[in-house]
Amino acid sequence: MQQRGWKHLGRVKAVSVTAIWHRFESDRLVWHYGNALDLPAQGLLGRTTAGIRFADYRADTAAVDTRKLWIQLDWMR
């Protein structure tokens, strides 16, 4: 896992970006199911926390290749 952060990035505060690599294997039969890369990022814009996340799963013996991108906004009163 690699993580990077900034106190300010333009108007956005408390910015963090992370890269996480997963390798999925069975415990008993030495099967490699696949690999996944997760790239989440978030920051504060006033009272709103904005986040974006990208996930890329590359199947080997289980499931199918999957890519997802999602955006999240949390507003605090």
pTM of the model: 0.79
Residue closest to 57 by CA, chosen among 36, 26, 27: 36
First to last CA, the chain: 33
Q: Pick the more confident residue, 6 or 28.
A: 28
Residue closest to 22 by CA, chosen among 43, 38, 40: 38
Q: Residues 21-57: pLDDT tens digits?
A: 999 998 888 889 999 999 999 999 889 999 999 999 9
Instruction: Name the token pair of 23.
Output: 């390798």
Is the per-residue pLDDT at 71 higher than 90?
yes
